[in-house]
Every structure is written in structure tokens, then in C-alpha cells.
Amino acid sequence: MKTWVVSIIAGIGLLSCSVNKQAGRSTGTADTIKVLTYNIHHANPPSRKDYIDIDAIAAVINRVMPDVVALQEVDVHTDRSGRQLHQAEAIAAKTGMQAYFTKSIDYGGGEYGIAVLSRYPILTGKSHALPTAAGSGGEPRALCTTILQLPRGRKIMMASTHLDVQRNDSSRLMQIRAIKRIIEEAGIPAILAGDFNASENSATIRTLDSSFTRTCYSCAPTIPVENPKRAIDFIAFHPQGGATVLQHQVIPERYASDHLPVMAVLVIK
């Protein structure tokens, strides 16, 4: 039984002005944080093969105006996206944020992985390799963690991840258990967001729910962008009961990526 109240004040659609005004501010003893998670498909719009559109990804973020962003499928100095292009840093520059990138794999002469963007100061960042089940053939996966300083001076962890994509969930289970351990050992409040490649009724998400509180339950689908059918992109908070959800939305942006972005507004006390 959840011990805190989740108030969902909007469904799929445009952001409300009242929440935009609250995002990133301190109120009394609480901090209000707007979080976005977005699998950006290496900034390649599905309708435009081999075309890289960093401006489209930045435009989505600038419309939502989040305080922190978890990015997945990020290219850094790859042949397909441009050897001079560090996608996380380029998106950060276009959105007025700081970036911390974590490599998951070597790819196309460069790196491919995940990132955190933040309007708050990034005090530290760390990259964590996640386990893959032996003999599964799964590609390496990672967790990107950053320690942020909020307006009232408290510290919080913001983490981004992208779990194994294979049908068998053995690697995903190993990975979510490793993530739980890493975050719990940090000993501070944490927001975890990303592409979990797992639906709500899966063992992976049940394991997540045993220690974290997600910003939605019976969540709206996030993939594919046209006629979406599955929710696999989530935002969650640790420890349970440490935050209240003011808003959760799946943003109906269908050009920039093959995933719909997910936004939530949290009040952290």
C-alpha cells in the first residue's frame, strides 16, 4: 500500500501554465522539480532515414521546460551522427542546461549511451556498468548518476538508464537489481528515469516498484509514437513516500523520436 498521495492533474496533452510556474522553485520546506525522460533515437526522426535533427529534440525540451532530463540513445562523435557532434552537450547548449554523459557501448567510431541534463548545478557525475546475463547475447547497458544541488541547498541524485531490450527478462532483472543497490548505497533521495524496455506487469517493473514509487500506474503508452501501445518509459522516486506527484504526462510529440517523451512534476519534502 502506498503511503503517499499521487495526484494526477493532467493526462496526455499540453502542459498546464500552473505547473510551469511551479517547476524548479522552492516553496516553504519543499522543492518542486519538473522531470523529463526521453529516448531520443540518436536524434533521428523515424520519418527521415539517416537524418540527424538535434534542433527537434532541443525544441521538445524547450517547450516542456524541465529542470532535469534523462536521455537515452545518445550518440557522441559517431559516424552516423557526425564525428564532431557530442549530442548530449549540443542539446544541453540549445536548452540552457548542463550535461553528463555515460557510455553504454562503443559505436561507429564514437560512443552511444545515456545522459542527464540539469538546470541545477551538477556537483558530481558517475557512470556505472550494468550486468548482462551470461550467454544472453545482450549488449552492455549502463546507469548514469549525477548529484544535483537543489535551490534550498539539499542534494539529490538524478539517474538515467536504458535496460536490455531482449525478450527474455533475465538481463533486465539483473540490471534493475544493480540499479537499486547503487541508488540505495548513495543514501540520498533519488529520481530514476529512462527506457526500461519492460511493461508494468513485468517482473522488472515489479522489482522497481518494491523500492521506488513511479509517477504513474496504469500508465499511458509511450511507444510507438503512432498509435502507441506499450508504456516502457518511466520516472520513479526513491525512497517511497519521499515525494508527491503533482503531474504526469506523456507528451504527444511524434516527429523527433520513436518514443514519446514523459514528464512529471514532483514535490520533494
pLDDT at 233: 98
Distances (CA, A) of 195 to 44, 131, 205, 259: 17, 16, 11, 9
pLDDT at 28: 59
Q: pTM for this one?
A: 0.90
Homologous superfamily assigned to 26-268: Endonuclease/exonuclease/phosphatase (3.60.10.10)
Q: What cell was used for 115?
A: 545522459
Say how far apart CA 222 and CA 60 lie, in whole Å.
15
Q: What cell was used for 103?
A: 557510455
CB-count burial class (<10 Å; 0-12, 13-18, 19+) for 3: exposed
Distances (CA, A) of 15 to 12, 117, 145, 250: 9, 20, 27, 10
pLDDT at 5: 33
Phi, psi of 176 (to 5 degrees): -70, -35
CB-count burial class (<10 Å; 0-12, 13-18, 19+) for 151: middle
120: amino acid identity, one letter: Y
- Residue 86's closest CA among 102, 65, 70? 102
pLDDT at 126: 98
Say how far apart CA 50 and CA 23 lie, in whole Å.
35
CB-count burial class (<10 Å; 0-12, 13-18, 19+) for 164: buried
pLDDT at 157: 98
Say how far apart CA 49 and CA 32 lie, in whole Å.
39
With contact defined as beta carbons under 8 Å apart, do 223 and 258 qualify? yes
Averaged pLDDT in 10-residue chunks for the chain of 269 residues: 34 34 53 97 97 98 98 98 98 98 98 98 98 93 98 95 96 98 96 98 97 97 97 96 94 98 95
Rg (the chain; Cα; Å): 17
Say how far apart CA 144 and CA 158 lie, in whole Å.
8
Sequence-ordered list of residues with C-beta below 8 angstroms from that of 165, at least 6 positions apart, any chain:
138, 197
C-beta neighbour count of 228 within 10 angstroms = 17
- Residue 36's closest CA among 186, 260, 269, 256? 260
